[in-house]
Amino acid sequence: WANAKDEMLFVYKGDIYRLRIGDKEPERLTRTSDAERSPRYTKDDGGFYFQRDAGVYRLRFGSSMIEQLNPDLPEGLRMQSYRLSPDGTKILLTSSRSDPPARQVDYIAYRGRFAEARRTGRSVAEDPFSSETFAWIGDVSDEPRTNPSADGKPPWQVYHWPKDKGYGQLSIHEEPWSPDSTRVTFAKWDRDRRLLEVVIADTKAKTVSTVFSALHNGEHNTPGMTRPFFTRDGQKVIALLEMTGFRHPWLIDPVTQLAQPITQGNFEVYPVAMSEDGRYLFCDSSAVRPARMNPYRVEIATGRMIRLGGMEGNYGDPIPSHNGKRIAVTFSSWTSPIETYLADGENGGGEKALTESHPDRFAKVQKLVPELFTYTNRHGHTIHGYKFLPPDFKPSDKRPLLIYVYGGPLGSGYSVVDGSFNSAGYLFNMYMTYRYGFVTVTIDPRGQSGYGSAFGAANWQQPGKAQVEDLADGVKFLITQGGIDESKVGVYGWSFGGFQTQMCMYTAPETFTLGIAGAGPTEWQNYNNWYVGGAIGDAEGKAETLDKFSLTKLVDKLKSPLLLVHGMEDTNVLFQDTIHVYQALLRAGKGPLVELVLDPTGGHGLGGDINRIQQYRIYEAFILKHWMPQELRRK
């Protein structure tokens, strides 16, 4: 939003647009082959700043001159992100650099006359971290090009994470400066020590001080979401913390170095921005239900939450106007694909669509609308899902049940979201229900993000175990609702979901009678070290420490058909993960139960010789072969 005008800047496909509220069409401000991002208005709304590659630029409306503002960084480092001070005189810059990965691993490409060995970098569980991160504060002048190192004013380094110290993370809000532009706040995370610190860098005193610290043992993504920022009076700091078991905004007093929660409850609240008068926070929260995030105006003094969303569905982060009277927000539901809206920022509701992005053919694809459901697992946790039921469904039916699962932590992302049209859990499930009468569901078990630390950290030292319990409990629940043939219960997923599918097939064969596992990391000791060390377990410098979680040790329990799918040029989850587990299955005598489908030129999401439609046709054929012979299909 502009600082004083009813207009906004946004980025679409790498170019910047200006939309004056009331105009029918936005004004295009850039048209380049480079990607522009992070636009923000100048203080007088007479122009805007933006980032292009490693540069920060200023362009005034009506002028053709582009000014580069960021200073050169030491040792030739390239800027990665910037935050300008409110008065426009200072700039916070971040950068990082990495040594080459600890090792190079081979994979085979089949693109020419003969197979070709290729290599990709890999740092696995027992390898040291080789990246370091920096943050500096520099001066910005009104000259076309500022170069502090040339005029004796090098940028001041306020943060450095060395490459030999393990895994560290820097977390910065979009508006980290104090209102008087003299201080900046950010958070830093030391994973080995589990230590999260919120710090303030004072540009006058040239000091960097820790104003709050805590041990964090929840989901490994949460410290990177701390993103502290100052209150309007500059006296306190607001940060996202998980200290009550759920993510909430906390108010930190830099003097006492104590913190207190602004909101509380068994749901998550993500602070986005503060009102102009400093009394309210604009937040995104799952207080109603996780599948339907809603924008809220939260009174800081009392924690009172005022819901601003007037429609039933899922909202994105609310971006308040300069006076807080309006918010710009995205909204989607399973009956309304995502668009951008204006809404009342004080009392909520009154949404007015700013965009109309989707063609009429959406209605031709949307044959069924799912319904949300919940159940209680064996430990008393509430598990969320959504399901498609065929139009002629009756509780007395005996229909196959197909479950889509991911199961791993994704920061603030998860699968059961109203208005998310996932190609697997939504579109393929809808197709199988509409075409063949299956009951299809998507479930978020423990292990997924967005449901509190007990969920987000559930994989630690037991990857996949909690998910198997929750999915098995989900099958029992759905059977009690009627209409399910318990001899035909299938599960499928991709990436972590491919791992999770195999965990279900190997450790609960009495429940799951068919599986489709795509690109699953079957040997965690060979996956990248930042993820494994945060979500799976501590390798303690030895691969064998994580080998105990390898699926190759569980394959002898397989009892039902399993389809393994992988792209052979996958450099995220290596193709060898599927080959090794397939090899173990063959050696265990499970060959007749297993099928292997490979995309010779596909990556982690396939996309080589197997396109998306063909992928799901393969899934369909596999399922029908085992569950619906030709005569039943004709019937």
Q: Residue 154, Cβ neighbours under 10 Å: how many?
A: 16
Closest CA to 79 of 41, 51, 50: 51
Position of tokens 């569901």?
Answer: 441
Position of tokens 């590659």?
Answer: 53
Torsion over CA of 118, 123, 129 and 132, rounded to 10 degrees?
A: 30
Low-confidence ranges of the chain (pLDDT < 50): 142, 144, 146-150, 152
What would the pLDDT profile of 366-385 be if each residue is shown by its tens digit?
899 999 999 999 999 999 99
* 187 beta partners: 171, 198
What would the pLDDT profile of 474-496 be if each residue is shown by its tens digit?
999 999 999 999 999 999 999 99
Position of tokens 């109309």?
Answer: 356
The whole-number pLDDT of residue 59 equals 93
CB 535 within 8 A of CB 546: no
The whole-number pLDDT of residue 544 equals 84
CB 527 within 8 A of CB 492: no
Which residues 6+ apart lie within 8 Å of 633 measured at CB?
A: 436, 624
225 token code pair: 């979401």
Which residues 6+ apart lie within 8 Å of 157 measured at CB?
A: 74, 134, 135, 136
The whole-number pLDDT of residue 541 equals 72
Coil, strand or helix at 411: coil
Residue 432, classified by CB atoms within 10 Å of its CB into exposed (0-12), middle (13-18) or buried (19+), is buried
Region class of 591: left (phi > 0), else alpha (psi between -120 and 50), else beta: alpha
Give, as one character, the DSSP assignment of residue 526.
G
Secondary structure of 38-96 as H, E, C letters: EEEECCCCCEEEEEECCEEEEEECCCCCEEECCCCCHHHCCCCEEEECCCCCEEEEEEE
Write b or e for each residue in 253-271: b if 16 or more Cβ atoms lie within 10 A of its Cβ, otherwise e. Answer: ebeeeebebbbeeebbbbb
Coil, strand or helix at 588: coil
Torsion over CA of 618, 621, 622 and 624, rounded to 10 degrees?
A: 150
The whole-number pLDDT of residue 146 equals 47
User: Considering the chain, what percentage of its residues have pLDDT values greater than 90?
Assistant: 82
Q: Residue 207, Cβ neighbours under 10 Å: how many?
A: 12
Which residues 6+ apart lie within 8 Å of 272 measured at CB?
A: 281, 282, 283, 284, 317, 318, 319, 320
CB 168 within 8 A of CB 190: yes
* DSSP-assigned states of every residue in 442-500: EEE-BTBSSS-HHHHTTTTTSTTHHHHHHHHHHHHHHHHTSEEEEEEEEEEEETHHHHH
What would the pLDDT profile of 179-194 be if each residue is shown by its tens digit?
999 999 999 999 999 9
307 token code pair: 């819901």
Position of tokens 């939450």?
Answer: 305
Closest CA to 69 of 141, 158, 152: 141
CB 344 within 8 A of CB 308: yes
All structural domains of the chain: 1-68 (no CATH), 263-366 (2.120.10.30), 367-634 (3.40.50.1820)
The whole-number pLDDT of residue 538 equals 83
The whole-number pLDDT of residue 64 equals 87
Position of tokens 């990665």?
Answer: 80
Which residues 6+ apart lie within 8 Å of 547 measured at CB?
A: 523, 525
Which residues 6+ apart lie within 8 Å of 410 measured at CB?
A: 221, 448, 449
The whole-number pLDDT of residue 616 equals 97
d(C-alpha 303, C-alpha 491), whole Å: 41
Closest CA to 190 of 211, 162, 209, 153: 162
Share the mean pLDDT of the chain: 93
pTM over 0.85: yes
Sign of CA dihedral 305, 308, 310, 312: negative
Give, as one character, the DSSP assignment of residue 223.
G
396 token code pair: 């007395």
The whole-number pLDDT of residue 141 equals 65
